[in-house]
Structure 1
Amino acid sequence: MAQVLEFKLPDLGEGLTEAEIVRWLVSVGDVVAVDQPVVEVETAKAMVEVPCPYGGVVTARYGEEGTELPVGAPLLTVAVGASEPADAPTAAVAPEAAAPTADPAPAPAPTSASASDETSGNVLVGYGTGAPAARRRRVRRAPMSASAAAPAPAREPVNGAAGAVPVVSPLVRRLAREHGLDLRELTGSGRDGLILRCDVEQAIRQGAAQAPPATPAPAPATTQTPSPAPAPMQATPSTRPGVTRVPLRGVRGAVADKLTRSRHEIPDATCWVDADATELLAARTAMNAAGGTKISLIALFARICTAALARHPELNSTVDLAAREIVRLPEVHLGFAAQTDRGLVVPVVRDAHARSAESLSAEFARLTEAGRAGTLTPGDLTGGTFTLNNYGVFGVDGSTPIINHPEAAMLGIGRIVPKPWVYEGELAVRQVVQLSLTFDHRVCDGGTAGGFLRYVADCVEQPAVLLRAL
């Protein structure tokens, strides 16, 4: 007889507490092997495939695509020991994924001393291919007498589920609680009546719109004059037809949170300089003509940047607010901003200070391809100490970027374009790039920031300057 095991959303590391289901890779009735990926989820860090530790037949799935689940919530159940879907007995699934009925029978009394202070309750946490499914949750409470253990009358069905609120996400419950909403009065727009975050937000907006206006104090008696006709009510941006609301979650939500925190905490400043990149482009052409791994332009800027950080280590640091200390870091883990279909991500090149131009080129290429494919791991996206932002690929000359918290600085690279330039005392057309440095003014002053940026510009104009640092 097959044993039904429940597979829960595992801890994905890096402090992640929830994930959004992007795509199911298996269906109910499919046979899965141990460590076979069963679902693709998106966290605040990256898109990852989650493997199942059990082998058998999938008997239930919890959550539709687009649903956010907390770590530890059920993902699916597997009948272990069954090789065909028909081998999975219904009775084995009932305790974990059976659909609730209108008149649920009272739970059996505890049979052991260890269970005497617990009670079971059906809490709607997801669904398979049919009606919403209920899952047993153990709720700790004080012992009660036999007379007090009688089952309470069953509640009226809500959205097709008896005595259970069809809500998956604890975030939805918290949002409703904070605004004083009774979830049993809402009708869910999700599959099988599932209450989503947008349903709660809509109820909040409707409640605000229906709130009676404050009664003004009676005005003193004056000469009666004709009252002007009331102005027509203007539709708010959220209620006008055609308005689209995009949830801030996943990668986009994580970026929003980090940038907001950076603006709130970091007193940043920006300085910039124009540099003649003609010689740097010529050096790159000569390197690639010699054969071997092609050297990318961003890799050359990274090599220059690590040499500049060795001269100005103040910018490779972070601020410990609790200890009121500046923490200077010995290694350079270089992040670089990359635009993907899922938003802006910042992959990190580990130990960039110890890499050659060839190694940097290869690692930039690997991480860029993984970012486009959505296969970056949380480890690929965390731990950076300094960031390069090549906004020149968008055809712009300059920018004042927001520092990637908790780092202390970011170097921006504009587009390289031919411009008039005084070269060796004469006017010439040269390849010019604008460089900008946004830095945390707590870790250094303008002199240090200016010295760093000037050194970077000198290396761009005369790549031979780098030989001193090699």
Structure 2
Amino acid sequence: MAQVLEFKLPDLGEGLTEAEIVRWLVQVGDVVAIDQPVVEVETAKAMVEVPCPYGGVVTARYGEEGTELPVGAPLLTVAVGAPVADGSAGSTGAGTADGHEGSGNVLVGYGTGAPPARRRRVRPGEPVRPVAPAAPAVALGSVETAAAPVTAPEQPHGPGSATAPERPDGPVPVISPLVRRLARENGLDLRKLRGSGPEGLILRADVEHALRAATAPVAAPRAATAPPVAAPVAQSAPAAGTSSGTRVPLRGVRGAVADKLSRSRREIPDATCWVDADATELMNARTAMNAAGGPKISLLAMLARICTAALARFPELNSTVDMEAREVVRLEQVHLGFAAQTERGLVVPVVRDAHTRNAESLGAEFARLTEAARTGTLTPAQLTGGTFTLNNYGVFGVDGSTPIINHPEAAMLGVGRIVPKPWVHEGELAVRQVVQLSLTFDHRVCDGGTAGGFLRYVADCVEQPAVLLRTL
């Protein structure tokens, strides 16, 4: 006897409350194994594969590609113990046939040790027998969900309808603490809302809908004798003097970047200083190191090693600001972020404990994280927790920039392109490899003297790599 189990979008961690379906990896009728990835989703942090904790036959999928689902929304249903084409049961592993608990390994982005994918389709004429007859699918927004049998007519309602009866005493089911805080800060009673999520779960859209309804102007009462007239749907028109254009939703990685950069501009009083440096000796040193054999060392790895040495001398720049406590928190570990441009937008992977690594180790980690960024397999843990950022915008062919600090960090070092330029070297005019370095820093954590000292030390190490020998 087959039992149909519902697999919901799991808690993604890192404060993430929704994800967009990018690509389904299974079809209805496929046989899936425990912990087999079934769908590829994109969150505000990264693109990851979601493994299913059940083994059996896929009987339904909820949501088309491009649909954004909240955490807790149904992803698919699996018939556990259903007969498949070879006559065996559609359960592939312990923990599903009897207890139906599954593996539980559904933490997105951290892997579950999934077995090789198995994609068998049930042949026509071999039905999957669920416990109860499947209800027809109905559309709820852009997400398909199973229609429950209705025993009594319900009053129509929309997301966050304030006409819902008050809930009894006890916890109110809410999709995330962020939604609960949003309601609390705006004085909204969650007990008066009817959630549009599964089993009445209150989503962020419900709270926002209720807040908009509370602030909307009240329409004049309609005459009692006037017949009801359907109001036309208002079409959004471009503002006067502007032309219409294509609207691109700010969501996923692009939306997260927009939120973080906007917050940085609002909260951080930043300043920028810059200097030109002769990078000829640094380039020569890199050539000599790579000629000696072993793994190739990138220029970014050498600049990162210089950064960690500079932060050891100027720890003020490896810090964050706690405005509620009115304290500057100086951090002991250096978790070095580096900006990487991908097809999905700008991401900042983080090299953990960069202060304990040499140039070779830094180069290997940069290569590994860069490849993961290009393939969209970075996990949330690899994109958060940075304390200082290195931004090599020279790869775009520009000399200088005033980048926005990666909130909540306190500084970012920018590196322009290295190009031949006229330079006074040993009292004579010569053509040297010149680079422009810039430091954008939070003026709350230090003054210009500290920032200038940091940047000057970096420039000295670029011009004379032997200066690093003092700290090695």
Q: Which band: TM-score by shorter chain?
A: 0.7 to 0.9
The structural deviation recorded for 1:166 is 9.6
Alignment of 1:77-88 (within 5 A): 77-84=77-84, 85=122, 86-88=126-128
**Pairwise CA distance, 1:321:** 1.3
Structure 2 counterparts to residues 61-460 of structure 1, below 5 A: 61-84=61-84, 85=122, 86-89=126-129, 92=132, 94=134, 98-99=136-137, 124=140, 133-134=146-147, 152-153=152-153, 170-180=203-213, 206=236, 234=240, 236-237=242-243, 240=244, 243-460=245-462
Task: Count matched residues.
Answer: 377
Partner of 2:170: none
Q: 1:165 to 1:454 in 2, by over 3 A?
A: closer
Q: Quote how far apart the aligned CAs of 1:73 are.
A: 1.0
By how many angstroms is 1:170 displaced? 4.0
SS of the residue corresponding to residue 398 of structure 2 reads coil
Could you tell me which residue of structure 2 aligns to residue 23 of structure 1? 23
Cα distance, 1:53–1:294 mapped onto 2, change above 3 Å: same
Q: State the SS of the aligned residue for 2:311.
A: helix
Counterpart in the other structure of 2:161: none
Provide closer, same or farther for how the CA distance between residues 69 and 465 of structure 1 changes in structure 2, counting only shifts above 3 A. same
1:466 shift after superposition? 0.1
Q: Is the 8 A contact 1:125 1:135 kept in 2?
A: no
Supply the distance in 2 between the matched residues of 1:398 and 1:157 (Cα, whole angstroms).
Answer: 55
Q: CA deviation at 1:165?
A: 12
**Alignment CA distance shift 1:135-1:316 (3 Å):** farther
The TM-score with structure 2 as length reference comes to 0.75
Q: Is the 8 A contact 2:79 2:130 kept in 1?
A: no
CA distance in 1, matches of 2:365, 2:309: 18
Residue 469 of structure 1 is aligned with which of 461, 468, 471?
471
Counterpart CA distance in 2 for 1:432 and 1:391 is 15
Instruction: Pick closer, same or farther for the CA change 1:93–1:172 going to 2, 3 Å.
Output: farther
Distance 1:394 1:135, change over 3 A: farther
Which runs of no fewer than 5 residues in structure 2 stay unpaired? 85-121, 159-193, 215-231
2:227 is matched with none
CA contact (8 A) 1:125 1:134 kept: no
Partner Cα separation in structure 2 for residue 296 and residue 465 of structure 1: 19
3-state DSSP of counterpart to 1:467: helix
Structure 2 letter corresponding to 1:408: A
Unaligned runs of 5+ in 1: 101-122, 137-149, 159-163, 182-201, 210-232
Partner of 1:41: 41
The answer to whether the 8 Å contact 1:124/1:135 transfers is: no
CA distance in 1, matches of 2:433, 2:247: 43
Q: 1:390 to 1:83 in 2, by over 3 A?
A: farther
Distance, in Å, in 2 between the alignment partners of 1:310 and 1:93 is: 66
1:47/1:375 contact within 8 Å kept: yes
Q: CA deviation at 1:204?
A: 6.4
Could you tell me how far apart the structure 1 residues matched to 2:415 and 2:235 are? 43
User: Is the Cα–Cα contact under 8 Å of residues 125 and 166 in structure 1 kept in the other structure?
Assistant: no
Separation in 2, partners of 1:343, 1:82:
43
CA distance in 1 between counterparts of 2:441 and 2:234 reads 41
Mapped to 1, the partners of 2:82 and 2:359 lie a distance apart of: 54
Other structure's SS at 1:92 match: coil
What per-residue deviation string (whole Å, max 9, x for no partner) do you get for residues 163-194 of structure 1? x999999455455444449xxxxxxxxxxxxx
Distance 1:177 1:154 in 2: 20
How many Å separate the matches in 1 of 2:275 and 2:233?
52
Distance 1:234 1:446, change over 3 A: closer
Write the distance in 2 (CA, Å) between the matches of 1:429 and 1:47. 45
SS at match of 2:82: coil
The code of the aligned residue for 1:437 comes to: L
Alpha-carbon spacing, 1:444–1:93, altered in 2? closer, same or farther (3 Å) = farther
Letter in 2 for 1:307: A
Question: 3-state SS of the aligned residue for 1:387?
Answer: strand
**Quick one: distance in 1 between partners of 2:12 and 2:359?**
33
Q: Distance in 2 between matches of 1:156 and 1:22?
A: 32
Q: What residue identity is the alignment partner of 1:290?
A: A
Q: What's the offset of the Cα at 1:17?
A: 1.1
**Residue equivalent to 2:98:** none
CA, structure 1 residues 167+460, in 2 after alignment: closer, same or farther (shift >3 Å)?
Answer: same
Query: Against the structure 1 CA distance between its residues 361 and 93, is the aligned structure 2 distance closer, same or farther, given a 3 Å change threshold?
Result: farther
Q: CA deviation at 1:134?
A: 2.6
2: CA distance between counterparts of 1:46 and 1:93?
Answer: 38
Looking at structure 1, the residues matched to 344 and 400 of structure 2 have their Cα atoms a distance apart, in angstroms, of 24
Q: Secondary structure at the match of 2:57?
A: strand
Tell me if the contact between 1:304 and 1:466 (Cα under 8 Å) persists in the aligned partners. Answer: yes
For 2:9 and 2:342, locate their aligned partners in 1 and report how far apart those are by CA, in whole Å: 26
Which amino acid letter does the alignment assign opposite residue 284 of structure 2? A
Q: Give the Cα separation in 1 of the matches to 2:429 and 2:459.
A: 20
Deviations 1:183-213, CA, capped at 9 Å, x for gaps: xxxxxxxxxxxxxxxxxxx96654x88xxxx
- Following superposition, the deviation at residue 99 of structure 1 comes to 3.4
CA RMSD of aligned residues (A): 2.8
For 2:196 and 2:241, locate their aligned partners in 1 and report how far apart those are by CA, in whole Å. 32
More helix by share: 1
Aligned equivalents of 2:378 and 2:271: distance in 1? 31
Give the SS at the match of 1:388: strand
What SS does the corresponding residue of 2:385 show, helix, strand or coil?
A: coil
Q: Structure 2: how far apart are the matches of 1:166 and 1:324?
A: 40
1:247-285 Cα deviation digits (max 9, x unpaired): 000000000000000000000000000000000000000
TM-superposed CA distance for 1:444, in Å, is: 0.3
In the alignment, is the contact (CA less than 8 A) between 1:18 and 1:70 conserved in 2? yes
Counterpart of 2:222?
none
Q: Cα 1:311–1:156, aligned 2, differ >3 Å: closer, same or farther?
A: closer
Q: 1:166 to 1:451 in 2, by over 3 A?
A: closer
